[in-house]
Amino acid sequence: MLRAKDQILVIFGASGDLTKRKLMPALFELFRSGALPEKFAILGVSRTAFSDSTFRDFQREKLLEFAKNPTEAELGAFLTMLYYASFDTKNTDEYGTLKEKIFSLQTQLGLGDRIVFDIASPPELFETVVDGLSKFGMNKSVGEDSFRRIIVEKPFGSDLKSAVKLNTILSKNFEEQQIYRIDHYLGKETVQNILVLRFSNGIFEPLWNRNYIEFVEISVYETLGVENRASYYEKSGALRDMIQNHLMNLLAFTTLETPSNFSPEAIRDEISKVMRSLRPLNAEDVKQNVIRAQYAENPEKYV
């Protein structure tokens, strides 16, 4: 298997829900399959007062809960890659602490100057994180064989105005090829199989059009409720959390035209065409066609 070059992955929001449920289990699976670089460090960042050791203990507990059948040997080897930096991520003056920790890891582990920043923090921190990285020059790579990349998870802003503002801030501090806007739903096997089902299937492909399909219904059933994310969900709600990203991407995968090839660029072009073709809902459309409700405890465990 072709491995990436040695690098550091910096995760903002390292003690949060996204990291423990999605990011760490995914990184653990990559480690088990031998897909991570030979020299690789995961640097967790948040305000929680962890040391390297207590952060590893915390993530070990979460991996036992969320990873698939981890063994003690696998956990032990993986957790040695984890490090931690604690500072007030809301204060850009404190980002020098992060720069010092990164330099220390590069020196200690013999790592090159290749760094990926993953913002798994609440959306209201995105701007501060980007400004803090830029303030201390961590948005710029040094040398030919180095890079800086930034991953932005959903939700990308809270509305159109804030999304445009966030895009402007990112573009001011990073080049477009450095920016990765991520919707983790697209990594789910079922979602990826939609394109295979459609375009590699001689039965469905010629019938997948309005002449043979009466309507499309997209339903998302989840066993996971709000859990301990109430503070986030009270601000976001299901519309912003699920529909404008996850479900819109499912809609695009279901309705896009056959791409010229299956490169990321070609698929993105077809997704863009779908989005541009959608008719925006006006106030009357919303009144007539949209039903919204308040979430509550559900004994059946379906949302």
> How does pLDDT run across 120-140, given as a tens digit for each residue?
988 789 999 999 999 999 999
**In a shared domain, residues 191 and 274:** yes
Q: Is residue 38 part of a domain?
A: yes
Of residues 300 and 269, which shows the higher confidence score?
269
Q: For 66-90, how does the pLDDT look when each residue is reduced to its tens digit (9 = 90+)?
A: 999 999 999 999 999 999 999 999 9
**In a shared domain, residues 172 and 194:** no
Q: Is residue 156 part of a domain?
A: yes
Q: Is residue 296 part of a domain?
A: no
What integer pLDDT is reported at residue 67 of this predicted model?
A: 96
Does residue 285 surpass a pLDDT of 90? yes
* Phi (first) and psi of residue 114, to 5 degrees: -125, 115
Q: What is the chain's mean pLDDT, rounded?
A: 90
**In a shared domain, residues 142 and 159:** yes
Task: Write down which residue in 153, 182, 211 finishes a domain.
Answer: 182
Q: CA–CA separation, 221 vs 303, rounded Å? A: 6
**In a shared domain, residues 109 and 247:** no
What integer pLDDT is reported at residue 68 of this predicted model?
A: 93
Of residues 202 and 25, which shows the higher confidence score?
25
What integer pLDDT is reported at residue 277 of this predicted model?
A: 95
Q: For 217-230, how does the pLDDT look when each residue is reduced to its tens digit (9 = 90+)?
A: 998 887 777 777 77
Q: Is residue 298 part of a domain?
A: no
* Average pLDDT of span 55-74: 96
Per the structure, the complete domain to which residue 276 belongs is given by 186-289
Does residue 262 surpass a pLDDT of 80? yes
Task: Write down which residue in 182, 211, 240 finishes a domain.
Answer: 182
**In a shared domain, residues 39 and 177:** yes
**In a shared domain, residues 193 and 207:** yes
CATH code, domain with 276: 3.30.360.10
**In a shared domain, residues 174 and 255:** no
Q: What is the pTM of this model?
A: 0.83
What integer pLDDT is reported at residue 233 of this predicted model?
A: 76
Q: CA–CA separation, 198 vs 205, rounded Å? A: 5
Helix 264-277 and helix 248-255, axial crossing angle in degrees, nearest 10: 100
Q: Is residue 40 part of a domain?
A: yes
CATH code, domain with 76: 3.40.50.720
Task: Write down which residue in 167, 182, 197 finishes a domain.
Answer: 182
How many Cβ atoms from other residues are within 10 Å of residue 153's Cβ? 22
**In a shared domain, residues 193 and 114:** no
- Ranges 29-33, 209-213, 294-298: which has the least confidence: 294-298
Q: Are 119 and 45 in contact, with CB atoms under 8 Å apart? A: no
Measure the CA dihedral 240/159/182/168, to 10°: -170
Q: For 137-195, how does the pLDDT look when each residue is reduced to its tens digit (9 = 90+)?
A: 999 988 788 999 999 987 788 888 988 999 999 999 999 999 999 888 888 888 989 99
Tell me the pLDDT band of 299, cut-offs 50, 70 and 90.
low
What integer pLDDT is reported at residue 220 of this predicted model?
A: 85
Q: Is residue 259 part of a domain?
A: yes
What integer pLDDT is reported at residue 303 of this predicted model?
A: 46
Of residues 9 and 153, which shows the higher confidence score?
9
- Domains of the chain: total: 2
**In a shared domain, residues 190 and 178:** no
Q: Is residue 2 part of a domain?
A: no
**In a shared domain, residues 170 and 222:** no
Residue with tokens 């159109």: 160
**In a shared domain, residues 158 and 198:** no
Q: Is residue 111 part of a domain?
A: yes
Measure the CA dihedral 271/276/279/281, to 10°: 90
**In a shared domain, residues 174 and 203:** no
> What CA–CA distances, in Å, run from 254 to 51, 191, 193, 222?
46, 9, 11, 20
Q: CA–CA separation, 239 vs 182, rounded Å? A: 18
Residues labelled as active-site residues: 246
Highest mean pLDDT among 93-97, 215-219, 261-265: 93-97
* Average pLDDT of span 283-296: 86
